[in-house]
A and B are shown apart, each in its own frame.
Chain A
Amino acid sequence: MKEKSQEHGAKYWKSLDDLSETPAFKEWVDKEFPSGASELEGVGRRNFMKIMAASFGLAGLGMTGCRRPKQHILPYAQQPENLIPGVANFYCSSVPGMTANIPVIVESHQGRPTKIEGNPSYKPFGGATSTYNQASILDLYDPDRATTSSYNKSKITAYQVKDFLLSLKETSLESKGNGLAVLAEPSASPSREALKKAFKTRYPEATWTEYTPSQFLNTSKAAKAIYGFSVKNSVDFSKVNRILSIDSDFLSEGDDALAKSRGFTAKRKILNKDEVSKMNRLYSVESNLTSTGSMADHRLRLSVSQMPAFIAKLGIEIIRLAKVGSELESTLSAIASTCEIEDNWIKECAVDLYASKGHSVILLGDHLSTEAQALGFYLNQILSAPLALLEDKVSAPEITNLANSIKAGSVKTLIVLGGNPIFNAPADLEWNKLYNKIDTTIHLSYSFNETSAESDYHIAQSHYLETWSDGRTPEGHLVPVQPLIEPLFDTFDELSILSSLVHDTSKENYAIVKDTFANLGGSDFNQFLKEGILESISYARSSATVNIPALAELLKKASMEKVQLGLNNLELRFIPSFHAFDGRFANNGWLMECPDPITKLTWDNALLISPRLAKELESEYGVSIFASSTAMNEGSDFFKSVKGELQKNSSVFKRGKESAVIAQIEVGGKHLDIPIHVLPGLANYTVVLPYGMGRNLVGRVGENVGINTYGLRTSEGMGFITGAKLKTTEKRFYLANTQEHWSMEGRAIVREGNVDYYKKNPDFVNQMGVESHAPKNYGYKDDASLSDKSQNQYRGNSAYVHPKFNEPDPNVKVWKDKEELYPANQQWGMTIDLNTCTGCSACVVACQSENNIPIVGKDQVLRGREMHWIRLDRYFSAEKYTPSEIPEDVQVSFMGMTCAHCENAPCESVCPVNATVHDKEGLNTMAYNRCVGTRYCANNCPYKVRRFNFFDWNKREIGEFYKGPLGPVEEPELEKMRANPDVTVRMRGVMEKCTYCVQRIQAAKITQKSIAGASSETAVPDGTIKTACQQVCPNDSITFGDISDPKSEVSKMKASDRNYSVLGYLNVRPRTTYLARLRNPNKLMPDYYKKPYAYKAYKDRYGSSQSTSGHDAHDSHGDHSHSHSESHNDESHPAH
């Protein structure tokens, strides 16, 4: 500096400090250089060489063999419209159904549809979809789907198919369609309806038949008889307080099940005791144990053969109550004479239904007889049930008619549009033989199935996400089927085939659909596509009343014969498989692996039998069905004295695997060997056989899965058949069951209470379990608000303290000195309402679809390695718990169990590598990259919700896992396309679990930030984020949101006194809490229960000692007042 100052010329200084040459300024000048620059001065040549040599050496040592796989990213030459890489697009469409379409919104990433979600514009479904809808996207990327059409099993091009259709059209037009027949599946598409009409006019002599194995026509037959035309019911559940369901699984069966389920559970959303009065009551009479039965407040097991007598008896009671004349009574009492049910049950049920006249409804299973259906219509009319009769246009002849004409030789050409009649047509038609009698058979199907193999022409079908079509909702609103992607292969669809047969000039599907839209009265097609629904049109509502003489006439035809069921005369009931439905989803891995809500079976179908029948079979044939009893389930005094805590309650599990006895069932001279599964809640002598599994020409997934049971199903016994015999064999079969243990063991896991009890003891939920005796989790801060608790994590005397959530990170300088402006992090939490969960399992598949969860196959499920992030626990509880027996009458409790994002997560403290850590928003996150796979976290998780990648599930095919590097190691290209790019695909050796759909949270935050701009309105508004499970749930059982915001929906739910933490005493403080289940039994019913069985089991085992020990003043008090009121009731109602 001195030298410089001696220089000539003007001297410039930067500041006064410069001029005065303060040490601080000099230091500042020094520091101004980049930090590395000054340090470099200290490095000599030798040191530099040393360091470089060492690092080169290390690089050569460690890294030569490891290169990241080379991947090419090519930019678009022409950017498609509306496409931003990394940002998903959403389009409205609908999933075609038999009677109605399900409106959906499909998420698409760079042209690949990846996720289906319900369209919330359609209010009755509220954005919900079913398990099948969710899984249908997997079929699009099924590597086993038909990729080309074929003629006599050799491949043909799409042009050849078109040529063939043209020639078929020419020849058929000449013969006016003589000898031409179409066998289609029922469809809700008005465009197809229009084409069908056109087909009939162009080919007047051709026949059009519709068939699907799960459809029954008894309801429409009954309606025709008593109304004169076919109708279907549409129940307005918002007005219903009392429901009697007679063998109707209305919560899960049918294309409108979502609406029914949603409507039904809406009245079960009870936040506090004052809302209790809105709770509806469900009586369920059923032969099988279904989701509906599990929701019932009163459930009666009854064989299907007894149903008509039951309905008749009920009819008598209601007619008497309503005093509407006695002309039917004699007929009804003749039918009712065979009824075996306690009078009181029916009587009190009828009284209760009638007392809520105008607000009660009777729902009948579709498989029940025409007479029963007709009587059902009439009883609903007497009860003024809040239901609308929608005109229904079922007019196609039944498949038996088609069979007859084939037999008669009048069918020369048969076009089978979809479906798989060779597999699933009634067995007595012997469709296989009939089919080969036909000169030319053409089969349109999505995969090359049993029917395709027998057909001359097989035409590959497009997925509904690849084609234009339309459909109608249950009320008749119009919905589009909009393609999300060009057909991946040269495929056809129903509309294009029909169109090529009826139109002279080729007409694109798009034009057909647009025309239909215009013809139905739509105006703005683009708006229609945008909204995904046209509500201005709907089916006509009928105000017809029952023609009573016609009803009487019909009832006289009813069979009065009494069927005496027993071991040698069993009733065989057919139900569609939960996994494959009627067989169409047999190659869908998600559905195969999704446990059946009731049996918890995956990958198999089994014959369901009642515990009583199982015992009788044991004594009859000497083959033990239940695992041998041990000291633990003898019920000895010693074990009673230690509270009889049993691990081995009676079941068919051996070493953790369900070792099912194979039984031979014989009916109508046909035999079938099938494993049996003992299920409580079945009618004693009704055995339930799911159909749809056991396809023999199916893809890799469905191969050798399940047993084909269609061979026993005849056109006379599509719903059920009596006269079956069952004998056990010595053979055994492993069923892949995901839940071994059916009892809750009296633990306060699913907490239940009766409505009356809840009204008196609104806090009964939190007086259960160990936590009611343990110190408060939050200590002296226990009265703090949820918001306070969630943000200021009080951890007792723990050394480990969470950082404050409303402070910026230390490295965020922008907020320096402005902490007060820093927006507090939102705190995510969830509630699951056990009162509205019907166990439908849609959440399981939705989660699988959203989060790229792999399937693992039957073998791995048997080992207990299923990967589902949500587990739907199903517990049975009985009036009296005897571990040595599976009870006959049970109450079912469901509990969706997934990562609870504990605030004091036990998984985090044991991970040695920081792979699972908490974030500032309260999420327990998994850093897959960090995970080395010690699995300690999974061990320490009290909820057992962590899932480990034991193999490379994603890269290897099922069955190839054990081959390691010797097997193929790449996922088929087609399967890769379905993955959600927002979610990491996990490799082997890492742990995974529910993330609260963190990708959705982040997306919402980004969107919100861009909305907020410079303002601090960065908090995501409540309701914006919906986790995949929450989104799909028809009953809104799952609520997700910010618990630090007292106004959020989830905070309101958590404020409910039904809210509790499972295993709360562990002080893990789960962010997912549960709302206890309520049951609403009728005191006058003979099977009235004072406490739900689950609660009773808890009280019997853990409740009594606690109240005597005096810890539990509240509880014992509550119990006392409760029993007092009950004894009062006992006196006033001698009905007990």
Chain B
Amino acid sequence: MSSDTTDCSIDSAKQALLDKVAPATLKDQNLVTNNREFSWVTNKICKIVESNTPNWWWVCMAVALVTASFTLMGLIWLVSTGVGVWGLANPINWGWAIVNFVFWIGIGHAGTLISAILCLLKQGWRTSINRAAEAMTIFAVVCAGIFPLFHVGRVWFAWWLFPLPNANLIWPQFRSPLEWDVFAVSTYGTVSVLFWYMGMIPDLGILRDRAVQRLTAGIYEETSKLRESIARGTDVFRKYFYGVLAMGWRNAGNHWRNYEMAYLLLAGLSTPLVLSVHTIVSFDFAVAVLPGWHTTIFPPFFVAGAIFSGFGMVLTLMLPLRALYGLHDLITQRHIDNMCKICLGTGSIVGYAYIMEFFIAWYGANPYESFAFINRAFGQYSWAYYIMFSCNVFTPQLFWFKKVRQNAALVWIMSILINVGMWFERFVITVTSLANDFLPSSWGYYSPTIVDIFTFAGTFGLFSTLFLMFLRFLPLMPIGEIKFIMPQADPHGHSDDDGKESE
């Protein structure tokens, strides 16, 4: 934002030249528009939690819960009966479960990327979306965690994957990528929760304080006695609920100092996780000997894909929220533009990887390898490949156009297409490689069963349930951080463009 570029080191000749050129001061669009005040931000965000539950929330919640029950039913049948209720068989021993796992884990990547890497890079625009994105991350990890846990044949022994002393006196096998997964995903989950929760503490304090203020001032504009006492009761609950969660946050200067330091440290800690988790997930495939899996390109390719799908999902969630809660001033077109551009970038990396895989398959001159890739594109699962390729490679290319980025409805549809495409990418990688590997005699075909489909569909219900709960009970955006990036927060903020703004 700053445009004062006077630099003494530039020699005079150049200075003269520069003066002549008189570079235009290119200004980014403000991250909070309409010249809002600090109090407006606080009210806007806190009211989401404090106002009466909107009807659409109940409807959504009901739908989400019903959908989530599919997963529950699917898992009950699975555990009580056997993994055979899924469509798995020799040679395709991993099907939708692993696809869904990678899919959800991938979605989880945007949250940490936004909160950690963008924080370290001092990208101010992250503030309006990071809280929701982090929540999304955690809920996506919850959904993801279901699949590797329940896809095992004897789920009651799944704890053997953890290095716990047990009666069999056998330690986990640390050469297995699945073992790495256990650590990668659990670390990721833990750090994400910590980061999310810690970032929320000041806002929880605000919610607590607002409830306390209302209680002491006794300002309730309710129509009836009953309503008033309900509101009062709710505030008492809030006082303790947020009070406990806020862990004694007093908004003190040293609180803020410690908070900032801790936040920075956690951001530093999470940054490698953004790269490591999906790298390790990609090792599930890359470490195997299977043609189509045994590929060194997988780690960067998977990470790019994960960020791609993560931002897709953030867009899918934030655009409706923006409309529902009228958050246009906080989630501005600039935010949408930035997210679209990240999708464009990562989508192009993914597209490049697809093409590179073919090149290497040809260049490697291994008949099994080259077959695996040609088969992907033209074999029995070519339909999946086409869906994947068109959604992941062609869709984001539209983001080159400003008009497209400015059309929220279109962006929303495309963000969904991105996630469809990314789900199919995992499907293509997992299933096509398994279905047609080395010995043609054992080639097969995989079809999901109704249980597969329901279990997966149910995770969207679970995700939505959790997200709706988050909307209702926790601050959607970091109030304090948004205030930091408002023009008013910059005491040296000056000048022409911001001059109109007061303070």
A789 at the interface (CB under 8 A from B): no
Of all chain B residues, the one with the shortest Cβ separation from A909 is B175
B437 engages A932 (CB within 8 Å): no
Q: What are 23 A-B pairs with beta-carbon distances under 8 A?
A: A630-B378, A632-B379, A643-B367, A647-B379, A655-B445, A749-B439, A875-B440, A910-B177, A914-B170, A930-B168, A934-B151, A935-B151, A935-B153, A936-B178, A939-B91, A940-B288, A942-B290, A943-B438, A944-B439, A950-B82, A950-B84, A951-B82, A952-B82
A909 to B441: give the CA distance in the assembly, Å: 25
Q: Find chain B residues with CB under 8 A from A950 CB.
A: 82-84, 88-89, 153
Q: Please tell me which one of the listed residues A643, A864, A964, A1066 contacts residue B90 in the complex, with CB atoms under 8 A apart.
A: A864
A943 to B289: give the CA distance in the assembly, Å: 11
What distance in Å separates the Cβ of A871 from its nearest Cβ neighbour in chain B?
7
Q: Within A938-959, which residues are at the interface with B (CB < 8 Å)?
A: 938-940, 942-944, 946-952
What distance in Å separates the Cβ of A734 from its nearest Cβ neighbour in chain B?
13
B152 engages A770 (CB within 8 Å): no
A932 engages B80 (CB within 8 Å): no
What distance in Å separates the Cβ of A692 from its nearest Cβ neighbour in chain B?
26
Of all chain A residues, the one with the shortest Cβ separation from B376 is A647
What distance in Å separates the Cβ of A716 from its nearest Cβ neighbour in chain B?
41
Q: Find chain A residues with CB under 8 A from B441 CB.
A: 739, 741, 871, 873-875, 895, 897
A931 to B178: give the CA distance in the assembly, Å: 14
Of all chain B residues, the one with the shortest Cβ separation from A647 is B379
Q: Within A621-647, which residues are at the interface with B (CB < 8 Å)?
A: 630-632, 639, 642-643, 645-647
What distance in Å separates the Cβ of A102 from its nearest Cβ neighbour in chain B?
30
A950 to B442: give the CA distance in the assembly, Å: 18
A1102 to B365: give the CA distance in the assembly, Å: 10
Q: Within B44-99, which residues are at the interface with A (CB < 8 Å)?
A: 77, 80-85, 87-94
A747 to B372: give the CA distance in the assembly, Å: 13
A1068 engages B173 (CB within 8 Å): no
Q: Please tell me which one of the listed residues B90, B160, B179, B440 contacts residue A865 in the complex, with CB atoms under 8 A apart.
A: B90
Contact A741 B367, CB 8 Å, known A932-B154, A940-B290: no
- 1/0 per residue, CB under 8 A from A, across B85-119: the answer is 10111111110000000000000000000000000
Q: Find chain A residues with CB under 8 A from B380 CB.
A: 647-648
A740 to B445: give the CA distance in the assembly, Å: 9
A910 to B88: give the CA distance in the assembly, Å: 19
A933 at the interface (CB under 8 A from B): yes
A914 engages B173 (CB within 8 Å): yes
What distance in Å separates the Cβ of B362 from its nearest Cβ neighbour in chain A?
8
Residues of A within 8 A of B (CB): 630-632, 639, 642-643, 645-648, 653, 655-657, 739-741, 743-747, 749, 770, 800, 860, 863-866, 871, 873-875, 895, 897, 906, 909-914, 929-936, 938-940, 942-944, 946-952, 961-965, 987-991, 1062-1063, 1066, 1068, 1101-1102
A768 to B158: give the CA distance in the assembly, Å: 43
B488 at the interface (CB under 8 A from A): no
B43 at the interface (CB under 8 A from A): no
A948 engages B153 (CB within 8 Å): yes
What distance in Å separates the Cβ of A891 from its nearest Cβ neighbour in chain B?
16
B440 engages A744 (CB within 8 Å): yes
A936 engages B176 (CB within 8 Å): yes
Q: Please tell me which one of the listed residues B91, B172, B379 contacts residue A648 in the complex, with CB atoms under 8 A apart.
A: B379
Residues of B within 8 A of A (CB): 77, 80-85, 87-94, 151-155, 157-158, 160-161, 168, 170-173, 175-179, 182, 284, 287-290, 366-368, 370-371, 374-375, 378-380, 382, 434, 436-447
B288 engages A906 (CB within 8 Å): yes
Of all chain B residues, the one with the shortest Cβ separation from A895 is B441
A864 engages B444 (CB within 8 Å): yes
Q: Please tell me which one of the listed residues B94, B170, B179, B436 contacts residue A939 in the complex, with CB atoms under 8 A apart.
A: B94
Q: Find chain B residues with CB under 8 A from A639 CB.
A: 378
A873 to B382: give the CA distance in the assembly, Å: 26
Of all chain A residues, the one with the shortest Cβ separation from B95 is A935
Q: Please tell me which one of the listed residues B81, B152, B153, B379 contacts residue A965 in the complex, with CB atoms under 8 A apart.
A: B81
B177 engages A645 (CB within 8 Å): no
A608 to B284: give the CA distance in the assembly, Å: 43
Of all chain B residues, the one with the shortest Cβ separation from A964 is B81
B153 engages A933 (CB within 8 Å): yes
**Residue picked from A645, A906, A988, A991, most chain B C-beta under 10 Å:** A645
B152 engages A934 (CB within 8 Å): yes
A877 to B158: give the CA distance in the assembly, Å: 45
What distance in Å separates the Cβ of B477 from its nearest Cβ neighbour in chain A?
40
Q: Find chain B residues with CB under 8 A from A875 CB.
A: 440-441
Q: Find chain B residues with CB under 8 A from A1102 CB.
A: 367
Q: Find chain A residues with CB under 8 A from B442 CB.
A: 739, 871, 873, 897, 943-944
Q: Is the interface of A mostly helix, strand, loop or mixed?
A: loop
Contact A645 B89, CB 8 Å, known A931-B154, A936-B176, A939-B290: no
What distance in Å separates the Cβ of B35 from its nearest Cβ neighbour in chain A?
56
A916 to B368: give the CA distance in the assembly, Å: 26
* Beyond A934-B152, A943-B442, A989-B153, 4 extra complex contacts between A and B, CB < 8 Å: A630-B382, A744-B440, A932-B154, A949-B82
What distance in Å separates the Cβ of A777 from its nearest Cβ neighbour in chain B?
14
Q: Find chain B residues with CB under 8 A from A962 CB.
A: 81, 84-85
A946 to B89: give the CA distance in the assembly, Å: 11
Contact A1063 B438, CB 8 Å, known A933-B152, A934-B151: yes
Q: Find chain A residues with CB under 8 A from B171 CB.
A: 914
What distance in Å separates the Cβ of B452 from its nearest Cβ neighbour in chain A?
13
Of all chain B residues, the one with the shortest Cβ separation from A1066 is B289
Going nearest first, the 7 A-B pairs with the smallest beta carbon separation are A933-B153, A656-B445, A989-B153, A964-B81, A950-B84, A864-B89, A873-B441
Contact A912 B443, CB 8 Å, known A938-B93, A940-B290, A964-B81: no
Of all chain B residues, the one with the shortest Cβ separation from A991 is B153
A990 to B83: give the CA distance in the assembly, Å: 10
A298 to B77: give the CA distance in the assembly, Å: 55
Of all chain A residues, the one with the shortest Cβ separation from B443 is A741
What distance in Å separates the Cβ of A405 from its nearest Cβ neighbour in chain B?
53
What distance in Å separates the Cβ of A170 from its nearest Cβ neighbour in chain B?
59
B440 engages A743 (CB within 8 Å): yes
What distance in Å separates the Cβ of A63 from its nearest Cβ neighbour in chain B?
11
A1101 to B92: give the CA distance in the assembly, Å: 27
A860 engages B84 (CB within 8 Å): yes
What distance in Å separates the Cβ of A973 from its nearest Cβ neighbour in chain B?
23
A632 to B168: give the CA distance in the assembly, Å: 51
Q: Find chain A residues with CB under 8 A from B374 CB.
A: 642, 645
Q: Please tell me which one of the listed residues A656, A740, A952, A1062 contacts residue B446 in the complex, with CB atoms under 8 A apart.
A: A656
What distance in Å separates the Cβ of A808 from its nearest Cβ neighbour in chain B?
21
Of all chain B residues, the one with the shortest Cβ separation from A1105 is B365
Q: Find chain B residues with CB under 8 A from A865 CB.
A: 84, 89-90
B153 engages A942 (CB within 8 Å): no
What distance in Å separates the Cβ of A933 from its nearest Cβ neighbour in chain B?
2
A529 to B87: give the CA distance in the assembly, Å: 52
B84 engages A930 (CB within 8 Å): no
B153 engages A643 (CB within 8 Å): no
Q: Find chain B residues with CB under 8 A from A749 CB.
A: 439-440
What distance in Å separates the Cβ of A1062 from its nearest Cβ neighbour in chain B?
8
What distance in Å separates the Cβ of A803 from its nearest Cβ neighbour in chain B?
16
Q: Find chain B residues with CB under 8 A from A961 CB.
A: 81-82, 84
What distance in Å separates the Cβ of B370 from its nearest Cβ neighbour in chain A?
7
Contact A914 B77, CB 8 Å, known A934-B151, A950-B84: no
Q: Please tell me which one of the listed residues A864, A871, A964, A989 contacts residue B152 in the complex, with CB atoms under 8 A apart.
A: A989
Of all chain B residues, the one with the shortest Cβ separation from A1111 is B365
A1068 to B368: give the CA distance in the assembly, Å: 16
What distance in Å separates the Cβ of B160 from its nearest Cβ neighbour in chain A?
5
Of all chain A residues, the one with the shortest Cβ separation from B445 is A656
What distance in Å separates the Cβ of A1011 from its nearest Cβ neighbour in chain B?
33
A631 to B377: give the CA distance in the assembly, Å: 11
Of all chain B residues, the one with the shortest Cβ separation from A874 is B441
Q: Please tell me which one of the listed residues B81, B90, B172, B367 contacts residue A948 in the complex, with CB atoms under 8 A apart.
A: B90
Q: Find chain A residues with CB under 8 A from B161 CB.
A: 912-913, 932
